[in-house]
Amino acid sequence: MRYLTAGESHGKQLTTIIEGLPARMPLTIDDINQSLLRRQKGHGRGKRMQIEKDLAEVTSGVRHGYTLGSPVTLVIHNDDFKHWKDIMGEASLEEDKKIRRTVSRPRPGHADLNGALKYGHRDMRNVLERSSARETAARVAAGAVAKTLLKQLGIEISGYVKEIAGIVAEDSPSLTMKERQDMSESSPVRTLDKQVEQPMMDAIDKAKKDGDSIGGVVEVCVEGMPAGVGSYVHYDRKLDSRIAGSVVSINAFKGVEFGLGFEAARRNGSQVHDEIAWSEEKGYYRKTNRLGGFEGGMTTGMPIVVKGVMKPIPTLYKPLQSVDIDSKEAFNASIERSDSCAVPAASVVMEHVVAFEIAKAVLEQFPFDQFPNLAEAINDYREEIRCF
């Protein structure tokens, strides 16, 4: 299974095409729209989210509530496009820079300058329109379909905020999947720790007041994966490495940790590895989950626990020094609107990006054209490894 997205931030629409889904899988538009609306929320979002109401339209691959096995196309219209019709239209436009809203001043930390150098764009709007995190809406749409597939196979996933601007949420290993999903949903900053909710919101409000932005850490937890998905035999079949790559591909994400993560470097091996046990009911399991659900590029059957770190959004009200590419003069970069903190929304994005990688790995290991056959094969495999 694979997907492509297309669309500019202020263009007409975002498009997602998913190819390789099995046929006969139940899929409703509500499954997708719920995810899209979740991504729009969160304390710290800017004015753009008041303009958009992200709702997907399915234009291919689904009929009467089931997938057909053909590519699934999802379209999300940009409501803001009505303000940008001429600027973003495909028709040629006068050379008037004001009308075109030409951008010649690269923002530090953004793709603007590197993208301009690479593609030769003198107008950096041609770069920023596609490099914008608006594209994450299209990725969430793809992930929502993956999540629907996984859920029907007994695999559930949840994303939530662990840290904002150095304020750290307590670990909550005893919470059930449902509790994680419900608690993050009811929190304005999508954290599971009520104690840090207000301090996190205060930090966001302060950043906004100061014209600055703040980043954080998000965590995704996946339960219900059988052991042995992924592979140790080759670098590009290791599922943890694929997840790591996809997480760092999310706009503004800079790093990934599984389980203990970097803390493993500071501990002895006996305090890092998870002891193996067996019971008639569960089969093999680990007494702890310090490695976050992976050994040798494969799932262990324990929950997958993966963190991603997001840098503060580089579009700042507070000016940073940069250089105009036309005049070559130094100037102070400043902007019209931005999100002061998109970490809560990013937890939804990461949840969906991880879901897609996991669903893709499941389909690689159980390559069935029909969803009922896939569901049966996974259940058979679960029983096989329980009795191993």
268: annotated binding-site residue? Answer: no
Its sign, for the CA torsion 348, 350, 353, 357, is: negative
45 assigned to a ligand binding site:
yes
Cα separation, 152 vs 218, whole angstroms: 25
Applying CB under 6 A, the span of 265-273, 302-310, 335-343, 357-365 interacting with ligand EPS comes to 335-343
Q: Decide: is 137 part of the binding site for ligand EPS (CB under 6 A).
A: yes
3-state secondary structure 6-54: ECCCCCCEEEEEEECCCECCECCHHHHHHHHHHHHCCCCCCCHHHHCCC
Among 5, 9, 246, 322, binds ligand EPS (CB under 6 A): 9
> According to the binding rule CB under 6 A, does residue 16 interact with ligand EPS?
no
Binding mask 278-317 for ligand EPS (x = CB under 6 A): -------------------------------------x--
Is the torsion defined by CA of 138, 144, 145, 146 positive or negative? positive
Cα(156)–Cα(15) distance, rounded to whole angstroms?
A: 26
List phi, psi (to 5°) of 235: -55, -40
293 in Cβ contact with 222 (< 8 Å): yes
Q: Is residue 125 within the footprint of ligand EPS (CB under 6 A)?
A: no
Residue 221 or 313 with smaller CB distance to ligand EPS? 313
322 binds ligand EPS (CB under 6 A): no
Q: Which stretch binds ligand EPS (CB under 6 A): 97-105, 290-298, 331-339, 351-359?
A: 331-339
In degrees and rounded to multiples of 5, residue 108 shows phi and psi of: -60, 135
SS3 at position 140? helix
39 vs 180, beta carbon nearer ligand EPS: 39
Report whether 231 belongs to an annotated binding site.
Answer: no
DSSP structural state of residue 113: H
Q: Does 85 bind ligand EPS (CB under 6 A)?
A: no
132 lines the binding site for ligand EPS (CB under 6 A): yes
Question: Residues in the site for ligand EPS, rule: CB under 6 A?
Answer: 9, 46, 48, 132-134, 136-137, 315, 337-339
Residues making up the binding site for FMN: 130-132, 251-252, 296, 311-315, 337
Residues making up the binding site for NADP(+): 39, 45
